[in-house]
Amino acid sequence: MTVVARVRDWLDQQKVKYEVRPHMEAYTAQEVAAATHIPGRAFAKVVMLKGQHGLAMAVLPAKCRVDIGRIAMFLRDSTMTLAKEADFEGTFKGCETGAMPAFGNLYGVPVYLDQDLIAEDTVAFPAGSHHEVIRIASKDFLRLTGAQVEEFCEGE
């Protein structure tokens, strides 16, 4: 079963409405947002971080850069850095590298959500491949991930 099929099954079990959008192969969050005709402010970029307590997933608008210093401050972890692919290799089984869904909680990774994304009605994110995205209501995303909402977007 593909990652998108597993995520779809889970969303169906949770009784959440969602949309799966196929798109031309794209790798950066801004490219995927453009390919799917979703504004960058409503497309979630997944950034993996590593600190003294392990991995963390920062989810923020495609148009932003993650302010690691701010995340380190609210997590009280001065060792927080961008994770290298080797740091999370094997964590997101079945996902193409860099296309993991924003449901880190399904993989035992805590999720931190930038407040700008939750201001949007819907949020879209990679579905496990560089060819599909999933779009759901922001309130459902927040409920399903249990994400902590903070402000860590910079460089709009």
Distance CA 44, CA 9 (A): 21
Output the pLDDT for position 17. 94
Output the pLDDT for position 42. 82
Output the pLDDT for position 156. 58
β-bridge pairing 122-126 and 132-137: antiparallel
Domains identified in the chain, total number: 1
Distance CA 129, CA 55 (A): 21
- Domain holding 18, by residue range, is 3-154
C-beta atoms surrounding 28 within 10 Å: 11
Output the pLDDT for position 138. 92
pTM of the model: 0.88
**CATH code of residue 77:** 3.90.960.10
Residue 129 CA neighbour count, 13 Å, CB half: 14
Output the pLDDT for position 58. 94
Q: Which of 81, 79, 123 is nearest to 102 (CA)?
A: 123
Helix (H) or strand (E) holding 35: helix 29-35
Buried b (16+ CB within 10 A) or exposed e, 41-64: bbbbbbbbbbbeeebbbbbbbbbb
CA separation (Å) from 50 to 2, 55, 60, 92, 142? 27, 5, 16, 15, 22
pLDDT along the chain (156 residues), means of 10: 77 91 77 75 89 93 90 92 90 82 90 90 85 90 91 80
